[in-house]
Structure formats: structure tokens, C-alpha cells
Structure 1
């Protein structure tokens, strides 16, 4: 994956944002929010982004988007109680895939970043399927600043 300085991007530069309230179940034995919860937050960010993209389309496009790659860099501990803010955007739109970049923030500080790739597929057919031109155009509206 292409390196992208997500850890230096402020929350307001991400085209899609969401706030999540932490719950006690997110906490591990050490007293900080655990890596599984943080992974779940990034999943929620990807879903939120795809819903935003869908809102740019005149009708819902039939698609079957699958996560094929994710990496997460944990930059600082996340503490309960409180809230976290997620920012996500598109890094690159390919013929069959989209690469996302996301940041997780707490108290204005970036505490984790994630890069992921989703691939479009068609149920019952093996391999990736080309993204519809209208969907690709909608994805471009969510592009991260370079």
C-alpha cells in the first residue's frame, strides 16, 4: 500500500467523520481501550464512508464490497470513559477496489491510523468485479486531501 501521512492529518481534513462513545466493554485489564475495540471502530468508519458514498447516488447501486486488507498503527493509548472521533476518506479508487485512510482521535490527538482496501465482488462469481462509473465518481467526492 502507498504510504500516506494519516497521523499528521487533522480530523477536520477527513471528508467523513463520526463520533463514538466508549463503553466499559471496550476496556482491557490494563485499563485502556483494547485493540479489538479500536479495530471495530475502524470497521464502523468504513461502513459510515460507504453509506456516505451511497447518499451521493440517485439510487442504491447493487454491489458487494469486501474488506481484503487492513493495517492499523496504534499511536497512543485510548482511555475510558469518553468519546473518540473517527475520520475516514478515500486514498485511491482502482478499477475494482478502493483504498481508505482513517484516523482515530481522542481529545484532539490522533491515537491510531488505519489503511484498508475494499474490493467489489459479485455474488456467485469468483474474483473482483469492476466498480460502476457512478459509484467511482461518488467515491471521488470522499477523497482525502493530498
Structure 2
């Protein structure tokens, strides 16, 4: 599991006084950076081989400005060419949101998925977590 602690910014709050629902997918994306670096250590766009096939977010409670949020990121499934990444957002000991992202290892020239390399697969599998 990878963890990332974020400080909600005032600009991320909305008129209702809590962090806006559009912020969580951005936080979850930022928290996938360790996965991105496995596939593309230099983070160069011309060497990028991951695409996102699906994201979902379940909002469980309000998230407030001024209180740190811990994002927990882990692998739920590692397939041949795709993976399911799980995310949880925690604030003050409470899970406030959770979500999933399906990423596909992709060949942009051939416009098709390609197998995840074994060395990367081995690292991803070290972060498998069963949550159900």
C-alpha cells in the first residue's frame, strides 16, 4: 500500500463548506504517482504507456479544509494488461471516500493493450490488498 498525506486547500472547498466532489479524482490520480513511476520512471509524456479505462468514487462523509487527508492507494487486481487500483481517503480516523481506477498498459502506436512487464507486475503484486 502506498500512502500520501494531503492538506486540503481552501480553493478546493465549495459553497457548502467542504471539499468539492470534483477534488477526489484529482487527489486519487496524484496518489497513483508511484504506479506511474514504475511504468515511466522519467514521467515523460512521450514514454507514457498507461491509460485510464474507468474511475469511480464513493463519497462517505464530508471532507473539511484545515484537516489533513491520508490517501491510501493499493492494488485490488493485476491482470495481463490492466489493473484495478483501489483508493481510500481518510480524515481524522474516518474513511471519507473510496474509489477505484482501472488502468490499462497501452501501446499508443498500435492502439491496443499490451502485457504488463513481469518486473513491474511483481512490484504491483506486493501491493495487493483484499478489501471486501
Q: TM-score, normalised on structure 1?
A: 0.79
CA RMSD of aligned residues (A): 2.0
* Structure 2 counterpart of 1:18: 4
Q: For 1:140 and 1:63, locate their aligned partners in 2 and report how far apart those are by CA, in whole Å.
A: 21
Aligned to 2:50: 65
Q: Please, which runs of 5 or more residues in structure 1 have no aligned partner?
A: 1-14
Instruction: Check the 8 A contact 1:19/1:83 in 2, yes or no.
Output: yes
CA displacement, residues 50-105 of structure 1 (integer Å, 9 cap, x when unaligned): 43xx2xx9x95965011111110000000112210000100111000011111000
Deviations, residues 8-39 of structure 1 (Å, cap 9, x unaligned): xxxxxxx1101001111100011100011112
TM-score normalised over the length of structure 2: 0.87
Alignment of 1:89 with 2:74, yes or no, is yes
* Map of 1:121 onto structure 2: 106
Residue 31 of structure 1: aligned partner: 17
Number of matched pairs: 127
**Which runs of 5 or more residues in structure 2 are unaligned?**
none
Could you say what secondary structure the match of 1:30 adopts? coil
> 2:67 and 2:8 mapped to 1: Cα distance?
6
CA 1:144 to 1:50, structure 2 compared with 1: closer, same or farther past 3 Å? farther
Q: Which residue of 1 aligns with 2:126?
A: 141
Q: Secondary structure at the match of 1:35?
A: coil
